[in-house]
């Protein structure tokens, strides 16, 4: 899930910082990338760095990049050009590209455009201190090797601020799905899961430090499986599988850390989501009743072209399972318009499925062709841009209607809310979320960040509930 509000955010730590070298680290893309930036900050902290929010005073500027769509890459390119201007005045400043654009664009960035000194892929962050030293010695530095083992399990990420309430924990890396539109298997490599005990330990530490919510992150959490390390595809024997930790088991282990620690996760995949995960969710009050289950398209024919591994009917079956096992559960989706060969008929099927599923929320995109993907190699990007955009506008309009109805229906009810931070609109109000992930704002009273409160929703805007605390 890509949070538009966080794109280009600079990571800040509060470690004093006097006399240290300064790192400016800006991040794009999904939550996993933001979690990776905290790992990068941790590695560089041990190498004598502190963070800054002002790139003009930085010794090192890193941009943690996203390659999911053309416009994500374009945004980063524009930003790199800005940094190039600053570097012109301060030639000792090091500029580097991290993350998902690294592998594909290394030659272009280093040799042709000469805009950066360092290019580092998502599995090579432990090498950063060496690479920085290399640049300081006058060389260019690059490491985009994708790993079979790396999960950064032993690295405690540097958190944005020590009194936070909610935090992300990466539970796996890479993706083995090979959806025909998606660049992720090429940028982040093969799928591997992280040792469950290191995940539980991280959740325990967060709870001890005052955190009250963790979100477990993976490209496809349902296929999490840990049998001692290495690639998922190398877990071959029946014996290895039967003694392995599955996602349902991991979720239960994290839920047991403390009843006051809320647990969320993202992202599920319709072809892998099993009922046992839903039953674990039903069993624990502190596992939030919210599932992000991207459909991409409502047309079985198009799902096949996308290589998604499920049909419209399979998807409907999964939504029915959620509604049966977890009544009232929030459900959201990712939807793409204008993928190769998409017809008006396919588009209508997407619209009808959205209406049937009655999503609380959707992330919606127009398809953009990505290098190396199956679609780029074997299909024609044949839906005209205007058509992609007009279909996108239609699904956005439909989703707004669905979301508004959902928010309205939540008015008049009492919601258990975890207080996250001050409302952006008013210093007198708190902002938090209910289990279904709706945003709720209410007068502060004597409550504080990290408290759980029961809020009666009295009114709403399009996507926010407004209410007051009841005892
Ligand atoms: N073009 C447009 N959207 C894409 N997504 C993934 N690849 C592409 C692409 N090439 C969307 C999918 C995915 C979300 C993270 O981004 O909907 O679920
Ligand atoms: Fe995340 Fe995908 Fe973007 Fe990489 S390309 S940052 S995995 S959304």
CA of 295 to the centre of ligand 1 (A): 11
Per-residue pLDDT of the chain (471 residues; tens, 9 = 90+): 678 778 888 887 766 666 689 999 999 999 999 999 999 999 999 999 999 999 999 999 999 999 999 998 999 999 999 998 888 899 999 999 999 999 888 888 888 878 899 999 999 999 999 999 999 999 989 999 999 999 999 998 887 554 589 999 999 999 999 999 999 999 999 999 999 999 999 999 999 999 999 999 999 999 999 998 888 878 778 888 888 999 999 999 999 999 999 999 999 999 999 999 999 999 999 999 999 999 999 999 999 999 999 999 999 999 999 999 999 999 999 999 999 999 999 999 999 999 999 999 999 999 999 999 999 999 999 999 999 999 999 999 999 999 999 999 999 999 999 999 999 899 999 999 999 999 999 999 999 999 999 999 999 998 899 999 997
- Please answer whether residues 307 and 271 qualify as being in contact, where contact means their C-beta atoms are separated by less than 8 angstroms: no
Place of tokens 């050009």: 81
pTM for the whole thing?
A: 0.94
- CA–centroid distance, 72 to ligand 2, in Å, is 9
Q: Which ligand is nearest to the CA of 365?
A: 1
Give ligand 2 pocket residues (Cβ under 6 A).
Answer: 2, 29-30, 32-33, 66-68, 99-100, 183-184, 187-188
Q: What is the DSSP string of 259-278?
A: TTSEEEEE---TTT--HHHH
166 Cα to the center of ligand 2, angstroms: 21
Nearest residue (by CA) to ligand 1, atom 3, is 367
Q: What token pair was written down for 389?
A: 């955009």
Terminal C-alpha separation, the chain: 34
Answer yes or no: is the C-beta of 70 below 6 A from any ligand 1 atom: no
Atom of ligand 2 nearest to the CA of 32: 1
Ligand 1 center–CA 400 separation, angstroms: 20
Give the DSSP H or E segment for 192.
Answer: strand 192-193
The answer to whether 348 and 308 are in contact (CB under 8 A) is no
Please, what is the angle between helix 31-45 and helix 128-136, to 10°? 60
Please enumerate, as own/partner, the contacts of 36-39 that have beta carbons within 8 Å and a separation of 24 or more: 36/64, 36/98, 36/99, 36/122, 36/125, 36/170, 37/11, 37/64, 38/11, 38/157, 38/158, 38/159, 38/160, 39/125, 39/152, 39/155, 39/157
Task: Determine which residue's CA is closest to atom 12 belonging to ligand 1.
Answer: 334
């Amino acid at each position: 899930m890509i949070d538009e509000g966080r794109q280009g955010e600079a990571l800040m730590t509060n470690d004093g910082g006097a006399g240290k070298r300064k790192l400016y680290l800006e991040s794009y893309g999904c939550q996993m990338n933001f979690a990776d930036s905290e790992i990068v900050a941790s590695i560089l902290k041990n190498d004598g760095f502190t963070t800054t929010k002002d790139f003009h005073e930085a010794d090192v500027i890193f941009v943690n990049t996203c390659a999911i769509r053309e416009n994500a890459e374009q945004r980063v390119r524009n930003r790199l050009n800005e940094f190039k201007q600053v570097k012109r005045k301060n030639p000792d400043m090091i500029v580097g590209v991290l993350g998902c654009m690294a592998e594909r664009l290394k030659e272009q960035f280093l040799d042709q455009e000469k805009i950066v000194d360092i290019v580092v892929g998502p599995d090579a962050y432990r090498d950063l201190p060496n690479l920085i030293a290399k640049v300081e010695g006058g060389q260019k530095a690059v490491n985009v090797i994708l790993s079979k083992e790396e999960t950064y399990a032993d690295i405690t990420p540097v958190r944005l601020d020590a009194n936070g309430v909610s935090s992300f924990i990466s539970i796996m890396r890479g993706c083995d799905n090979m959806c025909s539109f998606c660049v992720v298997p090429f940028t982040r490599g093969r799928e591997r899961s992280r040792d469950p005990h290191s995940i539980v330990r991280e959740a325990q530490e967060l709870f001890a430090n005052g955190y009250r919510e963790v979100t477990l992150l993976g490209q496809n959490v349902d296929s999490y499986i840990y049998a001692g390390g290495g690639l998922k595809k190398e877990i071959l024997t029946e014996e290895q599988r039967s003694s392995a930790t599955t996602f349902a088991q991991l979720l239960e282990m994290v839920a047991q850390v403390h009843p006051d620690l809320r647990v969320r996760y993202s992202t599920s995949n319709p072809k892998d989501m099993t009922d046992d995960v839903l039953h674990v969710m039903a069993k624990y009050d502190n596992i939030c009743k919210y599932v992000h289950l991207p459909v991409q398209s409502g047309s079985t024919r198009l799902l096949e072209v996308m290589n998604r591994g499920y049909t419209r009917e399979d998807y409907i079956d999964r939504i029915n399972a959620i509604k049966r096992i977890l009544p009232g559960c929030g459900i959201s989706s990712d939807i793409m318009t204008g993928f190769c060969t998409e017809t008006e008929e396919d588009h209508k099927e997407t619209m009808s499925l959205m209406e049937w599923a009655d999503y609380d929320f959707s992330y919606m995109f127009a398809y953009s062709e990505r290098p190396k993907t199956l679609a780029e190699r074997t299909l024609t990007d044949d839906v005209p841009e205007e058509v992609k955009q007009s279909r996108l506008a239609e699904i956005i309009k439909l989703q707004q209607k669905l979301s508004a109805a959902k928010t309205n229906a939540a008015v008049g009810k009492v919601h258990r809310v975890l207080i996250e931070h001050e409302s952006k609109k008013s210093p007198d109000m708190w902002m938090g979320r209910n289990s279904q992930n709706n945003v709720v704002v209410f007068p502060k009273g004597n409550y504080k960040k990290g408290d759980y409160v029961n809020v009666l929703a009295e009114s709403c805007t399009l996507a926010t509930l407004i209410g007051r605390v009841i005892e």
